[in-house]
Amino acid sequence: MASVTKRLLRELQDVRKGLGEELISLEPVSDETLLYWRAVMRGPCDTPYSAGTFVIHIDIPEQYPIKPPTLTFVTPVCHPNVHFETGEICLDILKAQWSPAWTLASTCLAIHVLLANPEPSSPLNCDAANLLRCGDILGYNSLIRLYTRMFAQDPTC
Q: Determine the distance from the C-alpha atom of residue 153 to the mean position of all C-alpha atoms in its chain, rounded to a whole number.
A: 16
| Strand 53-59 versus strand 24-28 pairing type | unpaired
90: annotated active-site residue:
yes
**Which position among 45, 78, 90, 108 bears the catalytic label?**
90
- Hey, which residues are catalytic here? 90
